[in-house]
Amino acid sequence: MIKKDVSWHIALTGGMGSGKSSVSAWLAQQGARIFDADAVVHQILKTPEALGWAQELWGDACLEDGSAGSALNTRKIAKVVFSDIQARQAWEGFIHPQIDLCLEHWLATPDSGRLIIYDIPLFFETDWGQGRRIDEIWVVYAPRKQCVERLEQQRGMSLEDIEARLSAQIPLEKKAAQADVVIDNSGSWVSTLRQLEDILGKRMIMESD
């Protein structure tokens, strides 16, 4: 388990299919405090403000089937924003300030002395760390071919959708080159866990047995 008296702020990022979410979930199980940007986005999309904004911009194109105009479909939104640069810029202009506001509230919640993980998929793409305390950047890495296979098998995504989304992101190799820590998730999960335990152990973040 992670020590209670540590004070580290880590940016955790990666790419679709790299396994970042699995790493984040394991860190949460060990006692880290996680700010999950993807989960925050899903919550924001349930708000009337997001629904009104999307309908004004795209009409009913991104609504959930059979929702009678009351719910957004995240996959439909992704298909629109990853296929059109202007749509993506409009989306980012709406969603990023909303995420920042949620982060302010999250940080204001008293919970001192813990390892804080900012789980940010587009950390590099959005310059998310600018002006924020980030002690280290951790990148979860897997080769592109392996990421594509995972997305096809685990999420049932089409190759066209996968390529559109991956092309909108900085290649993982470039992210890894800018990281303080690279977590290689191309092998077994056991191998990944050993790396994580070693990383935390070297920083004296883990409780000793």
The predicted structure's pLDDT at residue 17: 95
Specify if 63 maps to a domain. Answer: yes
**pTM for the full predicted model:** 0.89
- Helix, strand or coil, per DSSP, at residue 44: helix
Strands of the chain, DSSP E: 8-13, 33-36, 115-119, 136-141, 181-184
Q: Whole domain around residue 185: which residue ranges?
A: 1-32+114-209
Among 58, 76, 111, where does a domain finish? Answer: 111
The pair of structure tokens assigned to 113 is 């002395």
Tokens 């001192």, residue located = 112
How far apart CA 92 and CA 79 sit, in angstroms, is: 14
Specify if 189 maps to a domain. Answer: yes
Specify if 42 maps to a domain. Answer: no
User: What is the mean pLDDT of the segment spanning 3-18?
Assistant: 88
Mean pLDDT across the chain, nearest whole number?
90
User: What is the mean pLDDT of the segment spanning 30-43?
Assistant: 93
The predicted structure's pLDDT at residue 142: 97
Domains identified in the chain, total number: 2
Q: 156 and 56 share a domain?
A: no
How far apart CA 62 and CA 141 sit, in angstroms, is: 31
Q: Is the pLDDT of residue 14 over 90?
A: yes
Between vectors from CA 137 to CA 134 and to CA 159, what angle results, nearest 5°?
130
Kind of pairing between the strands at 136-141 and 181-184: parallel
Specify if 67 maps to a domain. Answer: yes
Give whole-number Cα distances, 70 to 14, 76, 116, 191, in Å: 32, 15, 35, 44
Q: 59 and 86 share a domain?
A: yes
Helices (H), 82-126: 85-108
Longest Cα separation, the chain: 57
Which of residues 155 and 209 earns the better pLDDT score?
Answer: 155
Number of Cβ within 10 Å of residue 4's Cβ equals 11
Write the pLDDT tens digit of every residue in 150-181: 999 999 999 999 998 899 899 999 999 999 99
Among 66, 92, 111, where does a domain finish? Answer: 111
How far apart CA 134 and CA 152 sit, in angstroms, is: 33
Q: 2 and 77 share a domain?
A: no
Which of residues 126 and 192 earns the better pLDDT score?
Answer: 192
CATH value at residue 125: 3.40.50.300
Specify if 40 maps to a domain. Answer: no
How far apart CA 74 and CA 38 sit, in angstroms, is: 11
The predicted structure's pLDDT at residue 182: 98
Specify if 41 maps to a domain. Answer: no
Write the pLDDT tens digit of every residue in 135-150: 999 999 999 999 999 9
Q: 185 and 153 share a domain?
A: yes
The predicted structure's pLDDT at residue 209: 58
